[in-house]
Structure 1
Amino acid sequence: MRLRSLTAAVYIRMLLLLIAFGSAAGGIAYVMARADIDRASDSSLRISANMLYALMQEELSESADTHFPNDLLSAEDRLAFRTGEQKRMFAVFRNGTDIVHSENAPPDAIIPRDPGLHTFGQDRWRSYGMDIPRYGLLIVVGERRADINQSLTSLVHEIVFPVNLLVVVSAFLLWNMLRNSLADMRRLNRQLDCRSFQDLDPLDPSHWSRELGGLIGALNTLFARVKAGIEHEQAFTDAAAHQLRTPLAAIRMHTELLARTMDLSGAQTIPLLKSIDQARSLTDSMLLLARLDATTASRTQFDVAELIGGILARQALLASQSGIAFSLDSDERTILTSDPALLETALSALIENAMTHAASGGIVEVRFYTILQGSLQFLRIDISDRGPGIPEASRADVFRRFYQLGNTPGMGSGLGLAIVARAIDRIGGTIELEGRSDGPGLTACIRIPRDCF
């Protein structure tokens, strides 16, 4: 399911509102422009009629009641009118009779014979008739509606590009404004995304805008509830593990005392003692896992070779009894800034696990070196054994709590690799299991990113 974008949703709504407002403003402007052009056209028709009347003054001044000139407009007068008003027609009536008209004038029958403004004909002529009672004349000047509308169309074409440019610029500015306005939301998203699940400290409301106050308060309340729940669970697990250790120790002690008192053989007591030891191991693992969940990783400089050497030294006696040898290899001295206790916990568990699965007389190899992946630098620690290995399909599952393989030797608790994964995760690293290319066995690969150096 595709997630909705708040910025896009608000932007689309505001853009639609802007378009609706622009369309309404454009419609109103169009109506007003058309009304202004109609008024200007009507006024221009009046001016044209007066201009025709002025051109006739010379002929009219020479006329008499008994001799009225047949041609009120000379060729020069007609040329003067056409030069200024190319698309307009005119017609002059005397006592209702057409005495002169332009070449583009419509038929006399449809031309209004009344003074004032009129619209007539299929071509929708707009005309103005000026009455000259002194001479019994009616001067009619007209223009087609299509020619008037052409002026409006030209005006619209002249403003379409600036208006479109204005809309595009407004849309761009609106998008930037919304993104800037929602910058706090993106900052909150980044901050929450970078948090680990242990980081449940409340957010400071003073660092956020007032509009996010309710959300920040709700998040802080949620953090407090989750933190209280985790602390309650950790406290319960810790207490339960502590409480279990005492009766298990007492049971083991009484079992050994009973075996000596009743002179029981080892075959009769060993299974019971192993079960008690398994329960104690499980309890210790649960306690360690609970402490890892509650622990905050520290940052201390330490020598990785020295840390690994100490772990191998502590395991040397047990390794020699099992006929297992250790090999430590490094191409450089590495100083790491991280939590040595968490790394030691993970490496100790992995080395013990390798010793358990290594064949008798085998070797556990430990190697660490620096690698590059893209532009990032990592410290890689490999712990290898010659045991039966783990099927590739099960390598991710073994890091789950209480998961055990069917071919696991001994009676493990199923928490060893879960503890390793938890400790490595707390220091910001990753762990993977790989098969060996030079024969049977398994390699545990730990990668710690450069920002931990």
Structure 2
Amino acid sequence: MRARSLTTAVYIRVLLLLISLGTAAGGVAYFMARADVERASDHSLILSANMLYALMQEELAAAPAASFPATLLSSEDKLAFRTGARSRMFAVFVHGTCIVHSEDAPSPDIIPQTPGFHYFDHGLWRAYGLEIPQHGLRIVVAERRADIDQTITSFLRQITLPLNILVVASAILLWVMLRSGLAEMRRLSLQLDRRSFHDLEPLDPQVWSRELSGLVGKLNTLLERVRTGIQHEQMFTDAAAHQLRTPLAALRLHAELLTRDAAIASNRIQPLLDCVTQASALIDRMLLLARLDTTAPAMTEFDIAALIATVLSSHALLAVQSGVAFSFEIHAMCRIVSDQALLEIALAALVENSITHAACGGAIDIHVHDLRKGALCMVCIDIADRGPGIPKSCRSRVFDRFYQLREGYGGGHGLGLSIAARAIEILDGTIELGDRIDGPGLVASILLPQPCSLA
């Protein structure tokens, strides 16, 4: 399962918070804008009603008090009203009778004559009634609700694009700020990722910010505990190996002395010597594994052919006793960059394993060649025997410590391949197991990365 990104998680949470706040602010702004528009509309209705009354002053002064002509508003006055308020209607009532109204006004029968603000025609109109008691007049000016909604919609359309641009810009700026703010954590992660297994030196808390100094301090405490634990394990392993070697050496000495006594059957002493030999070999391998776990590679340039020749010569006697012959071919760079001691340990373990399982009279073929995997340059060392091989279902486990295909298989302890795998792992390489293509047998391939300049 892929790990979650802290930057993305914080960004999503902050962005959701900003969206929520923006939505709430937008809702508040909408209702405030609507209230302001309605107040402005009401104020405009009052002004329109008073403007109509002002336009009637001359006609009202000239007309008899008992009756007013339908020409209270001339065509020029109506045009002036329409010019000043195109979306409004008006109606003038004298003692309850409509004597004049605008062309787009609804039927006078549904127009309320009550003073003040009110709605009519199922809420389609917002009206204001101005009462003139001395003349018995009521001037009603109304505006369609749809026009108010259109004004608000137009206002929202005008601010939507700038707001959207602002939201997108804020989201981008927020992402950049979060990435920049968490860059130090990525730098800390990268620094830890570049460390090898053996690099347990504490981090410098002075180069990190105050927010990360606490985390760095805890990491240093953890590194110190790990380093102390490894040291204690190494000390225990060394002490245990030393304490076990002493009685084993004494036991071997006494067993060898007993074999010189003709009165004692040597066939009873030889199994004891074999057990002592196996126990000594087991202790040596366990000690070697423990040391490998705390070994840092020392990379140098050396001759790979000379190293393989050294390993083969050191196993020549064992090969002769097992009836096995070596063949060696190199079709690659002669000099490689690696840790010579670690590679020698791995080669020795694999060669010894091949000798143990190779068929008597067979051959162990060692082939060195170059290999490229994408942009990576590698040197490949193939060690092929003529033994029974390893079933594919078991190949993923044969590198586990003390694992054997069958109990007592090959007379070993199940540590040889573990030692080889651990040594190659320290060198950032891998060991792959395969089958021979020219018959039965196992092929163990060591793959080591190399600078392409040496290829």
Q: Scaled by the length of structure 2, what TM-score is found?
A: 0.90
Where does the alignment leave 5 or more consecutive residues of structure 1 unmatched?
none
Which of 177-186 and 333-342 deviates more?
A: 177-186
CA RMSD of aligned residues (A): 2.7
Q: Deviations along 1:75-99, whole A, 9 cap, x unmatched?
A: 3433443344233111123344422
Work out the CA distance in 2 between the residues paired with 1:9 and 1:409: 53
Q: For residue 15 of structure 1, what is the aligned residue in structure 2?
A: 15
Where does the alignment leave 5 or more consecutive residues of structure 2 unmatched?
none
- C-alpha spacing 1:206/1:214, structure 2 compared with 1 (3 Å): same
How far is the alpha carbon of 1:444 from its aligned partner? 0.9
Q: For residue 340 of structure 2, what is the aligned residue in structure 1?
A: 340
Q: For residue 428 of structure 1, what is the aligned residue in structure 2?
A: 428
Q: For residue 175 of structure 2, what is the aligned residue in structure 1?
A: 175
Alignment of 1:234-313 (within 5 A): 234-313=234-313
Q: For residue 208 of structure 1, what is the aligned residue in structure 2?
A: 208
- Contact 1:90-1:140 at 8 Å conserved across structures: yes
Q: Deviations along 1:417-437, whole A, 9 cap, x unmatched?
A: 111111111111111221111
Q: Which AA in structure 2 matches 1:99?
A: I
* DSSP-derived class of the 1:103 partner: coil
Q: Scaled by the length of structure 1, what TM-score is found?
A: 0.90
Q: For residue 376 of structure 1, what is the aligned residue in structure 2?
A: 376
Q: Which AA in structure 2 matches 1:414?
A: G
Q: Deviations along 1:223-263, whole A, 9 cap, x unmatched?
A: 21122122211211121112211211111111111221354
How far is the alpha carbon of 1:355 from its aligned partner? 2.0
- C-alpha spacing 1:70/1:337, structure 2 compared with 1 (3 Å): same
Alignment of 1:316-331 (within 5 A): 316-331=316-331
Which of 245-254 and 191-200 deviates more?
A: 191-200
* DSSP-derived class of the 1:399 partner: coil
How far is the alpha carbon of 1:439 from its aligned partner? 0.6
Work out the CA distance in 1 between the residues paired with 2:167 and 2:108: 50
Q: Deviations along 1:312-364, whole A, 9 cap, x unmatched?
A: 23333443454432211111333222210000111112112222222233222
Work out the CA distance in 2 between the residues paired with 1:423 and 1:211: 39
Work out the CA distance in 1 between the residues paired with 2:4 and 2:41: 54
Which of 220-229 and 11-20 deviates more?
A: 11-20
Q: For residue 188 of structure 1, what is the aligned residue in structure 2?
A: 188
Q: Deviations along 1:175-214, whole A, 9 cap, x unmatched?
A: 3322332223333334434444333222222333322222
How far is the alpha carbon of 1:134 from its aligned partner? 6.5
Work out the CA distance in 2 between the residues paired with 1:187 and 1:256: 63
Alignment of 1:379-418 (within 5 A): 379-406=379-406, 410-418=410-418
How far is the alpha carbon of 1:156 from its aligned partner? 1.8
How far is the alpha carbon of 1:268 from its aligned partner? 2.3
- Contact 1:357-1:409 at 8 Å conserved across structures: no
- Contact 2:119-2:127 at 8 Å conserved across structures: yes
- Contact 2:368-2:382 at 8 Å conserved across structures: yes
Q: Which AA in structure 1 matches 2:257?
A: L
Matched, 1:141 2:146: no
Alignment of 1:49-198 (within 5 A): 49-56=49-56, 59-60=59-60, 62-63=62-63, 68-108=68-108, 111-113=111-113, 115-123=115-123, 125-132=125-132, 135-198=135-198
How far is the alpha carbon of 1:414 from its aligned partner? 1.9
- C-alpha spacing 1:342/1:434, structure 2 compared with 1 (3 Å): same
- C-alpha spacing 1:31/1:165, structure 2 compared with 1 (3 Å): same
* DSSP-derived class of the 2:381 partner: strand
- Contact 2:333-2:370 at 8 Å conserved across structures: no
* DSSP-derived class of the 1:71 partner: helix
How far is the alpha carbon of 1:133 from its aligned partner? 6.0
* DSSP-derived class of the 1:9 partner: helix
Work out the CA distance in 2 between the residues paired with 1:58 and 1:46: 20
- Contact 1:300-1:337 at 8 Å conserved across structures: yes
Identity %: 60
Q: Which AA in structure 2 matches 1:389?
A: G
Work out the CA distance in 2 between the residues paired with 1:291 and 1:47: 98
- Contact 1:365-1:384 at 8 Å conserved across structures: yes
Work out the CA distance in 2 between the residues paired with 1:392 and 1:122: 85
- C-alpha spacing 1:58/1:410, structure 2 compared with 1 (3 Å): closer
Which of 48-57 and 239-248 deviates more?
A: 48-57
Q: For residue 44 of structure 2, what is the aligned residue in structure 1?
A: 44
Q: For residue 419 of structure 2, what is the aligned residue in structure 1?
A: 419
Q: Deviations along 1:285-328, whole A, 9 cap, x unmatched?
A: 11211221122111111111121122223333443454432211
Aligned residues: 453
- Contact 1:364-1:384 at 8 Å conserved across structures: yes
- Contact 1:305-1:333 at 8 Å conserved across structures: no
- Contact 1:358-1:386 at 8 Å conserved across structures: yes
Which of 129-138 and 8-17 deviates more?
A: 129-138
How far is the alpha carbon of 1:105 from its aligned partner? 2.8
Matched, 1:366 2:366: yes
How far is the alpha carbon of 1:371 from its aligned partner? 0.5
Q: Which AA in structure 2 matches 1:367?
A: H
Q: Which AA in structure 2 matches 1:377?
A: C
Which of 54-63 and 220-229 deviates more?
A: 54-63
Q: Which AA in structure 2 matches 1:419?
A: I
